[in-house]
Amino acid sequence: MSIVTKFSPNFTAGRKNYTPFAIVIHIMDGTLTGTDSWFSNPASKVSAHYGVGQQGEVHQYVKETDSAWHAGRVYTPSWSLIKTSNGQYINPNYYTIGIEHEGKGDTPWSDAMYAASAALIRDIADRWHIPLDRQHVIGHHEIYGAKTCPGTKVDLNKLIALANGNHTTPVNNDDDGDIPQKVKVTGKVTSRSRLNIRSAPDTHKAPVNIVEPGIQLAYDGYVNNGEKINNNSKWYYTEEGSWFWSGGVK
Ligand SMILES: [Zn+2]
């Protein structure tokens, strides 16, 4: 993918030891050219990692290893994976990657913009091992509820499906960090003991929930290439996009 760099002075160096685990979708409420100019202006005090144009252009403003200033304010969040510490929200800029898109909230998205954004999302997810689902690809308003960004025209499920659609390689069981290959088949299992529910098939992710023994859990599918525990790398995922290890259920 061809990416034009237009580095912005508006960012925080590094990520305060956080790793990006979600991608935030924004709408520019303007043009790509206007956004290039706005993000290059130190007085604006805003940026994003990327901007995608209606012709499929991709501009990069901030390195992924640095924190862009795109979603720092939290207000009535609806996102279940929002992080807190001691009752305070942690600045989401430290653990997200932001992508702006050309147009206004009610401007239809071109096929070229969908395709370029999906390819960019896939590449970011590959680099950071981010699951491609609605828990990890979110609209800005899910963090800042007073905004409507990214507007009414983008279908995030379609964007995610396009990003996933490029992953057509078969299921593999190696440990090279590939994005998990989902097998969609629904069913129910029961927790054997206290079971951690996580945001990815990976015990390095902090649990988002813990369920007691003997609780029935519905799954939407599974992968065979999650983190391997006791030689078992099968993990189930739920409709909500959370994960649990198959060894913890019967
Ligand atoms: Zn936004």
Distance of CA 71 from the midpoint of ligand 1 (Å): 7
Highest mean pLDDT among 96-100, 228-232, 239-243 belongs to 96-100
Residues of the domain holding 197? 187-248
Same domain flag for 34 and 137:
yes
Distance of CA 193 from the midpoint of ligand 1 (Å): 41
Mean pLDDT, rounded, of the chain: 91
Same domain flag for 203 and 142:
no
Q: What CATH number does the domain containing 99 carry?
A: 3.40.80.10
Same domain flag for 157 and 204:
no
In a domain, 127, yes or no: yes
Is the confidence at residue 182, as pLDDT, over 90?
Answer: no
Task: Give the residue from 106, 135, 165 where a domain finishes.
Answer: 165
Distance of CA 93 from the midpoint of ligand 1 (Å): 12
Distance of CA 230 from the midpoint of ligand 1 (Å): 42
Distance of CA 70 from the midpoint of ligand 1 (Å): 7
Is the confidence at residue 143, as pLDDT, over 50?
Answer: yes
Distance of CA 198 from the midpoint of ligand 1 (Å): 26
Same domain flag for 146 and 217:
no
Task: Give the residue from 103, 131, 165 where a domain finishes.
Answer: 165
CA 231 to chain centre: 28
User: 238: how many CB neighbours lie within 10 A of its CB?
Assistant: 17
Same domain flag for 210 and 108:
no
How confident is the model at residue 179, as a pLDDT? 57
Integer Cα distance of 243 and 223 in angstroms = 10
Distance of CA 26 from the midpoint of ligand 1 (Å): 4
Same domain flag for 227 and 152:
no
How confident is the model at residue 224, as a pLDDT? 86
Q: Which run of H or of E encompasses 58?
A: strand 58-60
Per-residue pLDDT band for 180 (boundaries 50, 70, 90) equals: low
Question: Which amino acid type is present at position 97?
Answer: I
In a domain, 12, yes or no: yes
Distance of CA 222 from the midpoint of ligand 1 (Å): 32
Q: What is the full DSSP assignment across 21-42?
A: -EEEE---SB-HHHHHHHHH-G
Distance of CA 81 from the midpoint of ligand 1 (Å): 18
Q: Where are the alpha helices (DSSP H) in the chain?
A: 32-40, 111-128, 156-165
How confident is the model at residue 245, as a pLDDT? 95
Same domain flag for 134 and 221:
no
Same domain flag for 18 and 69:
yes
- How many domains are contained in the chain? 2
How confident is the model at residue 104, as a pLDDT? 97
Distance of CA 97 from the midpoint of ligand 1 (Å): 12
In a domain, 46, yes or no: yes
| Among 2-16, 103-117, 133-147, 233-247, the least confident range | 233-247
Q: What CATH number does the domain containing 210 carry?
A: 2.30.30
Integer Cα distance of 58 and 182 in angstroms = 28
Distance of CA 54 from the midpoint of ligand 1 (Å): 17
Label residue 157 left, alpha or beta by phi (over 0 means left) and psi (-120 to 50 means alpha): alpha
Is the confidence at residue 167, as pLDDT, over 60?
Answer: no
Integer Cα distance of 59 and 53 in angstroms = 8
Is the confidence at residue 193, as pLDDT, over 70?
Answer: yes
Same domain flag for 46 and 130:
yes
